[in-house]
Amino acid sequence: MRPAPEPGAELLADPYESFMYHHLRYYGYFKGQEKALQNNSILPSGHQQKSSTCLLKQDGFQESNKSNQNSLQDKKKLICSLMLEAALLKNKQVLVHHPESLGFPCLREPRGLFTLPTSGSLLQAPQWPIECEVIKEQIQHIEWVPPNLEPFYQLTGNEKAPEIVGEEKGTVVYHINPAAKGTCFTCARVGGTRGPVRSPAVTLEGPEDTTLLFESRFESGNLQKAVRVGPYDYELTLRTDLYTSKHTQWFYFRVRNTRKDILYRFTIVNLMKPKSLYSMGMKPLLYSERDAQTNGIGWRREGADICYYRCSSKEKQATYCLTWTVHFPHDHDTCYFAHSYPYTYSDLQRYLLAMTNDTVYSQYCKLRALCQSLAGNTVYLLTITSPSRNPDEAAAKKAVVLSARVHPGETSGSWVMRGFLDFILSNAPDAQLLRELFIFKVVPMLNPDGVIVGNYRCSLAGRDLNRNYKTILKESFPCIWHTRAMIKRVLEKREILLYCDLHGHSRKNNVFMYGCNNKGPTAQQLHERIFPLMLSKNAPDKFSFHSCKFKVQKSKEGTGRIVMWRMGIPNSYTMESTFGGSTLGKKSDSHFTSEDLKSLGYHICDTLLDFCDPDRSKVRVAPSKSRKRPAFFKNSGRCSSAGKRTEQMAEEKNVASPMCRVHQPVSTLSLCMENSSGKQGKNPEDIIMSYLQRRKLNAIQESRHLKGRLSWHTFSCTRPCPHEISHQLSPLVKNLWKTHRPHLIPVIPLLRTQKPLLVPLKQYHPPFQSQLDGQPPEEQPTGLCGGTLKHQPQLH
């Protein structure tokens, strides 16, 4: 049998009120009470209409009978109500709203589950595996842009490839214990190991001792051993990714006790990749603390006699060596070497802390904890958009998803992400317009554990996260699992227009993208190439469209771009930013700076506006002058790139969602012209044959599908072509035209010129756009070469 409820307890239906009732009864209240409370809740029914300042009122209880027997009971009731009110208001989970003078309680939004950087709070200390020794010194570097281009090292062929000596003939001057082989991650704590931090470097014998003092036990550092094989010659061994025996490419370490007028040589002896940008002129990065403090000079490219070669080791797994020489700028200086510009987890948190302290950002940027990593580090999620005026406008917004640092050693992805956030959070007109049109979901650092410990590719699970987006192991891959779940939730509510995962590349120069090949309807074919092509037009000295690939390889099925593409995001990309530099335009044969990488974040925003421009007439207007590099990246705080387009679009506030202004015939036409410029020694017939073979056209099926829709008439120019080169139709092309004429419409302009058109895509005039779009044809459309079409395709 159920025990009889205590007097008054049966009237407290709310669990919290029931708890408070028992708590107060323990301290002597309600004892000996014979009659239960008449109200059905501690909160009286007429409370919301009568009071806006308190949750409990004295007149909500039963009136006193003005007798001595009930007076003590009434006093206890009053004291009870006041204590409940005080306890309720002090409770951290309950929030009291007062809209329109009506007070009512509700639960607060959950907080404190993960540490978020908030105004006045300290940064979350990184969590390290307990096997790692960590120094207490905090490492920070200034941001600096070299005033001049930093050219590639010019290989002479006479670079020395020193023979590896090893510690048998050398002296170990620095050594830290790696994670034991065969172990796996168990737990983490702030500061890593619980024991005292020992000194892994040798002790100097006196002021005349020129031995360098190495250190790498800080965020993203990964030097394991240094062997002195000569007076100023050192062999370095990098620590592999934790709980693996491979993935050594990224390096970041510190040296002290330098001498100014001495030539030092450093040789890294256990790199894994057979090809590297160091074979193409890339230089390591050097940072001098004295230069930073006195001259404001930060990271710069230094090094000579650079050579990347295979080691003559007897091990089964082939390893490769990188050697270079360098002069340090000062005596007794503290310097750092790095593979690319470092960007640590603490750097990200400092940036997010500065962002949350800005009251303006909080209006359109919300910072949340997506999840916690294996080591307990927070994976942050930013939601960026302007407040919508009504639910319909909010529902009509499309989403854009960006992420970075799934591979922790690819720091260039963080600098591109930094440039994107700098711009999208600014008060530039284009940024305001983007926030009105889209909802941005941004995961700035997907693999904080790997970033903290200095891994190049893996997480603390010892696995490549960018091969496990299909995983169901939530506990083993929490960052990837929660990111995919977040994107699924977004897809249930709205369309995701673009997904882009930012990476770095160690074997190719320039910036490029990997996408997926959409083999759906004819209207969708080659559609995935539009955004990369337009980005190459907006950043012609950095982005290479010819380096882009659009394949769905079986070995890459677990990557983010393919998994998101299969989830229904056609424009799903991996953006690769080189560790080296550019071979294009004005920046040819020079290294990228951190500012160059940040500018790519702006170009993503600029291309997104071009890709989804509500002003459809922009394609048909006369060619406009190309926009200059925005003043936003000159630390002006504003962007001057928004011209008449932005002002005109800003006035059209009634546009609920962006409309894509790019159409398949236009994109195919431009892509074919772009592809032709990269095929050396091929004539237009070869290009067309390659085009038809690549698409594997079935003439019979296609002719049935397109029968009666299009007819072709003579295409000619009424004035000379500005490129001064024309090509007459050969018999081969005429025969091809009879069979495949509907499919040759996009590539016909290739027959007019053999020289690639280098005009931006936004300046192309689509000769068949109005007809293929089903819109009325315009009078005298202008051809790509400045001519006009005497006859145009007819719609039947």
Q: Count, in order, helices (H) and strands (E) of the chain.
A: 19, 27
Residue 174 pLDDT more than 80?
yes
Phi, psi of 404 (to 5 degrees): -155, 165
Rounded Cα gap, residues 344 and 454, in angstroms: 9
**351-397: pLDDT as tens digits:** 999 988 888 888 899 999 999 999 999 999 999 999 998 989 999 99
**10-57: pLDDT as tens digits:** 444 456 666 767 767 766 665 554 444 444 333 334 433 333 333 333
Q: Terminal CA-to-CA distance of the chain, rounded, Å?
A: 84
What confidence tier does 232 reach under pLDDT thresholds 50, 70, 90?
A: very high
In the block, which residue shows the tokens 């239906």? 13
Contact 260, 327 (CB under 8 A): yes
**302-332: pLDDT as tens digits:** 999 999 999 866 666 789 999 999 999 999 9
CA nearest neighbour of 761 among 629, 644, 646, 606 = 606
**Beta sheet of 572-578, edge-to-edge order:** 365-372, 378-384, 438-443, 398-404, 496-505, 572-578, 511-515, 549-550
pLDDT of residue 428: 93
Sign of the Cα torsion 529, 532, 534, 537 reads negative
**DSSP secondary structure letter of residue 585:** G
Q: DSSP E strands: which ranges in 567-647?
A: 572-578, 581-582, 590-591
* DSSP assignment of 265-313: EEEEEEE--S--GGGGT---EEEEHHHHHHT----EE--EEEEEEE---
Tokens of 682: 């091929």
CA nearest neighbour of 579 among 761, 363, 369, 341 = 341
Average confidence (pLDDT) over 85-108: 52
**Secondary structure (3-state) at 155:** coil
Altogether, the residues listed in the chain come to a count of 796
Question: Among 288-297, 315-324, 714-723, which is the least confidently predicted range?
Answer: 714-723
Rounded Cα gap, residues 135 and 233, in angstroms: 26
CA nearest neighbour of 117 among 347, 341, 413, 343 = 347
Rg (CA), the chain: 33
Residue 279 pLDDT more than 80?
yes
**Secondary structure (3-state) at 734:** helix
Sign of the Cα torsion 137, 302, 251, 299 reads positive
Strand partners, 578: 505
How far are the Cα atoms of 119, 459, 479 from residue 474, in angstroms, in the given order? 32, 14, 8
Average confidence (pLDDT) over 404-422: 97
Q: Residue 173: which residues within 8 A CB-CB, separation 6 or more?
A: 201, 202, 211, 212, 213, 214, 226, 227, 228, 234
Tokens of 448: 């904080």
Average confidence (pLDDT) over 61-67: 43
Residue 536 pLDDT more than 70?
yes
Tokens of 519: 């083999």
Contact 578, 277 (CB under 8 A): yes
**Secondary structure (3-state) at 132:** coil
**115-164: pLDDT as tens digits:** 455 545 557 889 999 989 999 999 999 999 999 999 999 988 889 899 99
Rounded Cα gap, residues 446 and 443, in angstroms: 6
Neighbours of 225 (CB within 10 A): 20
Tokens of 632: 């936003």
Tokens of 453: 């410990």
Phi, psi of 382 (to 5 degrees): -110, 135
How far are the Cα atoms of 331, 513, 562, 586, 777 from residue 491, in angstroms, in the given order? 58, 23, 16, 41, 37
Angle between helices 594-611 and 530-538 (to 10 degrees): 130
More confident residue, 476 or 680: 476
What confidence tier does 98 reach under pLDDT thresholds 50, 70, 90?
A: very low
Tokens of 24: 């107060």
Residues serving a catalytic function are 576
Average confidence (pLDDT) over 572-596: 96
Rounded Cα gap, residues 96 and 110, in angstroms: 15
How far are the Cα atoms of 123, 392, 425, 498, 567 from residue 401, in angstroms, in the given order? 26, 21, 15, 6, 13
How far are the Cα atoms of 219, 355, 446, 594 from residue 418, in angstroms, in the given order? 19, 12, 14, 10
Contact 377, 125 (CB under 8 A): no
Phi, psi of 11 (to 5 degrees): -90, -10
Q: What average pLDDT does the structure give for the chain?
A: 74
Average confidence (pLDDT) over 257-265: 95
Contact 649, 433 (CB under 8 A): yes
Average confidence (pLDDT) over 57-73: 47
